[in-house]
């Protein structure tokens, strides 16, 4: 369960939409809420007269204290907060480390708006740099829906796309903890790409054509079902949760995830942010496409920290079937 929940704010009503969900999680898990407002440093003018604390806006301090008091009284959870000086992403991630947070809850954009690069710049940076899972909520123009002080329902069906790798499976601990908060059901998904047969044309050897190897594809799907069953059994034993498994055959992984989420009635997608390589685009290509193609909230975790966070039972289950089969661990196919 979550002990320390960090909620980054920028004094906008959009960023405050994360408070209601954070309160519900803290109340269900017996955790504490910590608020943080980032105060950017003024440009260096060649002097060292002013300290970071001196540069803080008193109104920011008053804002944080007022909200923390309101949360403590209204939601009946322990709440506090601070103003952290520095660039927003660095300040948020530093604060998460200082308080040993195990979850960050934030909206996908605040003042900067929802950018063309899937996430707002601050949210994008937090997902990339945070060492803990980030619950990214979709901001709405209706500021009465997600504000604090309201008894918000938590998630009921959490879709967790896996690919057989330890990295992907490491999101399971956070997803299971969130499911426990709302008595939700986990739906484990494995998307299996069709296995191709390459047909060579002697006339054009450089451009082979392909057809689907139906038998090999079915074998891959059966292996995926066996692996998911092992992971599901491990999660059920460790967390006392209801777990379902779905295997989907598709060459469009992100599209398949979105379709299964819709078909299953999922209200949250939990994924690690890895792809076949971390580029300037920050998140993996599959995660990016799911972010852009869905309005569902997402629980995201950077792979560098995710691997260390996975429990031994989940790690063992996620790799057992692939070791037996001789298949290497892999990433979600773009």
* Residue 84: strand pairing partners: 38
Q: How many helices (H) and strands (E) does the chain have?
A: 13, 12
pLDDT for residue 91 is more than 70: yes
Residue 167 or residue 239, greater confidence: 239
Cβ-based neighbours of 198, under 8 Å, separated by 6 or more: 208, 209, 210
More confident residue, 206 or 182: 182
Asked if 133 and 310 touch (Cβ cutoff 8 Å), the reply is no
pTM over 0.85: no
Q: For residue 149, what pLDDT band results from cuts at 50, 70 and 90?
A: low
**pLDDT for 317:** 54
Q: How far apart are CA 100 and CA 27, in angstroms?
A: 18
Report residue 328's pLDDT band, with 50, 70 and 90 as the boundaries: very low
Q: Tokens 């390459």 identify what position? A: 198
List domains and CATH numbers for the chain.
Answer: 4-137 (3.40.50.620), 157-325 (3.40.50.620)
Q: Predicted confidence band at 169 (pLDDT cuts at 50, 70, 90)?
A: confident
Whether the CB-CB separation of 303 and 191 falls below 8 Å is answered with no
pLDDT tops 80 at residue 249: yes
- Interhelix angle for 88-98 vs 121-129, to 10°? 40
Q: Residue 329: which pLDDT band, with cuts at 50, 70 and 90? A: very low
Instruction: Give the pairing type, strands 298-301 and 134-137.
Output: antiparallel
pLDDT per residue over 288-312, tens digit each?
888 878 889 999 998 665 444 445 5
- The pLDDT tens digits of the residues spanning 187-213 come to 999 999 999 888 776 776 667 778 888
Residue in 207, 203, 177 with CA at minimum distance from that of residue 103: 177
Residue 265, Cβ density class (10 Å: 0-12 exposed, 13-18 middle, ≥19 buried): exposed
């Amino acid at each position: 369960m979550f002990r320390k929940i960090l909620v980054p704010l920028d004094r906008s009503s959009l960023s405050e939409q994360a408070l209601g969900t954070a309160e519900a999680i803290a109340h269900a898990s017996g955790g504490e809420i910590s608020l943080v407002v980032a105060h950017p440093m003024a440009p260096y003018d060649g002097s060292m007269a002013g300290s970071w604390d001196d540069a803080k806006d008193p109104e920011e301090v008053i804002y944080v204290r007022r909200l923390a008091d309101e949360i403590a009284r209204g939601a009946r959870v322990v709440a506090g907060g601070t103003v952290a000086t520095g660039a927003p992403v660095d300040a948020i991630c530093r604060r998460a480390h200082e308080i040993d947070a195990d979850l960050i809850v934030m909206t996908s954009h605040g003042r900067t708006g929802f950018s063309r690069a899937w996430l707002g710049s601050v949210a994008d940076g937090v997902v990339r740099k945070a060492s803990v899972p980030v619950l990214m909520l979709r901001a709405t123009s209706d500021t009465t829906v997600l504000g604090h002080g309201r008894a918000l329902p938590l998630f009921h069906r959490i879709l967790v796309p896996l690919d057989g790798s330890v990295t992907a499976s490491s999101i399971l601990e956070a997803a299971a903890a969130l499911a426990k908060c709302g008595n939700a059901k986990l739906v484990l998904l494995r998307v299996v790409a069709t296995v191709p047969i390459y047909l060579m044309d002697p006339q054009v050897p450089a451009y082979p054509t392909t057809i689907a190897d139906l038998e090999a594809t079915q074998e891959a799907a059966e292996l995926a079902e066996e692996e998911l069953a092992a992971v599901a059994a491990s999660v059920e034993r460790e967390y006392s949760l209801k777990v379902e498994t779905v295997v989907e055959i598709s060459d469009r992984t992100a599209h398949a995830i979105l379709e299964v989420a819709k078909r299953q009635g999922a209200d949250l997608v939990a994924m690690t942010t890895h792809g076949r390589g971390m580029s300037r685009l920050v998140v993996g290509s599959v995660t990016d496409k799911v972010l852009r193609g869905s309005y569902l909230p997402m629980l995201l975790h950077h792979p560098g920290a995710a691997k260390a966070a996975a429990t031994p039972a989940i790690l063992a289950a996620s790799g057992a079937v692939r070791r037996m089969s001789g298949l290497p661990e892999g990433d979600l196919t773009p």
